[in-house]
Amino acid sequence: MDEIKKFLLKLTKKERTILQRLMEDVRILNLKNYDVKPLKGYKNLFRLRKGNFRIVFCKGEESGMVVDLDYRKDVYRK
């Protein structure tokens, strides 16, 4: 089981549902309603902020791929 799935299992059902919806929006690049910024020092890596959570993703031409998902305090340490 990968790290993202393990992390999601630790959350409440409500948080899990919200983050799964966000990850689907990242996958289809439906990002105009979210707080998205590029990560400094990286090409094509972005972060999406939702409350205390951060989703780090790589943006392609037609789709996005989630690279990491964690709490704000932990996501940038990896």
AA letter at 75: V
Q: Indicate whether 13 pLDDT > 70.
A: yes
What pLDDT, on a 0 to 100 scale, did the predictor assign at position 78? 66
Q: What is the pLDDT of residues 26-54, one digit of tens each?
A: 999 999 999 999 999 999 999 999 999 99
Domains in the chain and their CATH numbers?
Answer: 3-75 (3.30.2310.20)
What pLDDT, on a 0 to 100 scale, did the predictor assign at position 76? 78
Residue 55 near residue 47, CB atoms below 8 Å = yes
Q: Which of 48, 50, 51, 75 is nearest to 64 (CA)?
A: 48
Cα separation, 46 vs 50, whole angstroms: 13
Q: Indicate whether 1 pLDDT > 60.
A: no
